Amino acid sequence: MSRLAIGLAGLGRMGRIHLGSLAGRCPSAELACVYDVDPVVAEQTAAEHGVPWTASFEELLDASDAVAIATSTASHAPLIVEAASAGKSMFCEKPVSADRAAAVAAVEAVEQAGVLLQVGFHRRYDPDWAAAARRIHDGELGEVTLFRTSLRDMTSPPPSFLSGSGGLFADVTVHDLDVARWLVGEVVEVHAHGAAADPAFGEIGDIDTAVVVLRFENGALGVIDNSRSAGYGYECSTEVLGTAATARIDSPHRHGYEWRTPGLASRDLVRDFEERYPVAYTAELEAFARCVLDDTEPLAAGRDAIAASDLAEAATRSWRTGAAVTLTPRRTAAGIDYSLHEVSA
């Protein structure tokens, strides 16, 4: 098999991005079929792209070598379990589940079935982040002393999405927590602060602005800032300071040119994750197809999703209680385990 036939479940914002990748941009994959819980959406999308559609996930599994799951968060864990029991490998958007027990059960079902699960931590597959990570991991930065990352949306997602998102830390900060682990190492303390600048977030028990301070096992410090509505554009940037060098990954501009008027030079900024990360979103699905075809482990695996969600849960608890949460990352045969955490006084 030279190309993996991937069935796509979920045809909303992310599903349509993945559809674009699978329908022609991944050399090792092809789009087998599409499915959405809303059959009208599935039928219309299939007609637009000239691909088959199904009316159930079971039929999607039958029609595909592997599946990509971009459905709403609450459905990820049951669909992962269903795919695993059908013996199909899967790519799944983050997070695996807002419920830790369900996430662990889903990842265990994957491990027992001997199939692959890759999670949608797309920054790990972006050429800029991947190149910086290689040099950090090779030790070119020396000892890491400080990690800083900013993830800010230009405007909030729709209320229909927010109500099932799991909250800012689980939905947004989780990406930063994953890159913190990937670039720097395991985390032993999380202290989070949050605010609802838009009262609508407060009304649903959520926040739209946050700062999270991290202490890493290796002694480095970290700070994450997040906003649901920064206004000026979409920002996803980081710096990793070390004793020998500093790596800085900035949000690229929309165009290569600058517009100059008297006393003012301006450049367009990217507006959302779709504009910022088209290469990464395609690269993560190409990497998934290669992992399945070559029988290799994904860079962003199910246990990484659980670890990042555990850190997001620690941030949520810290924000609610006002106290720092200390963690004891344990290295087990299955992978890193953050399940033992306690709120410090």
Ligand X SMILES: NC(=O)c1ccc[n+]([C@@H]2O[C@H](COP(=O)([O-])OP(=O)(O)OC[C@H]3O[C@@H](n4cnc5c(N)ncnc54)[C@H](O)[C@@H]3O)[C@@H](O)[C@H]2O)c1
Q: Does 339 bind ligand X (CB under 6 A)?
A: no
**Binds ligand X (CB under 6 A): choice among 120, 233, 242, 298:** 120
Distance, in Å, from the CA atom of 75 to the CA atom of 91, rounded to the nearest integer, reads 14
Task: List all residues 6 or more positions away from 85 whose beta carbon is below 8 Å from its beta carbon.
Answer: 109, 113
β-pair partners for 35? 9, 54
Region of 3-11, 196-204, 217-225, 295-303 interacting with ligand X (CB under 6 A) = 3-11
Residue 161 binding ligand X, by CB under 6 A: yes
Cα(301)–Cα(313) distance, integer angstroms: 19
Our CB check for ligand X shows the closer of 54 and 209 to be 54
Angle of CA points 322, 328, 333, to nearest 5°: 145
Task: DSSP letter for 202, please.
Answer: H
- Binding segment for ligand X among 36-44, 192-200, 209-217, 233-241 (CB under 6 A)? 36-44
Q: Is 71 in the site for ligand X (CB under 6 A)?
A: yes
Q: Output the smallest distance, CB 81 to ligand X, in A.
A: 12
- Asked if 226 interacts with ligand X (CB under 6 A), we say no
Report phi then psi at 148, rounded to 5: -135, 130
Q: Which stretch binds ligand X (CB under 6 A): 5-13, 187-195, 223-231, 232-240?
A: 5-13
- Token pair of 62 as six digits: 């039958």
Mark the segment that binds ligand X (CB under 6 A) among 64-72, 126-134, 264-272, 323-331.
64-72
- Rounded to a whole number of angstroms, the minimum distance from the CB of residue 121 to ligand X is 7
Residues 170 and 309: beta-carbon distance below 8 Å: yes
Q: Which residues on neighbouring strands pair with residue 248, listed in sequence order?
A: 239
Of all helices (H) and strands (E), which one includes residue 303?
helix 302-321
Told to check if 13 binds ligand X by CB under 6 A, we report yes
300 binds ligand X (CB under 6 A): no
Residues that bind ligand X (CB under 6 A): 9-15, 36-38, 41, 70-73, 75, 93-94, 120, 122, 161, 171, 273
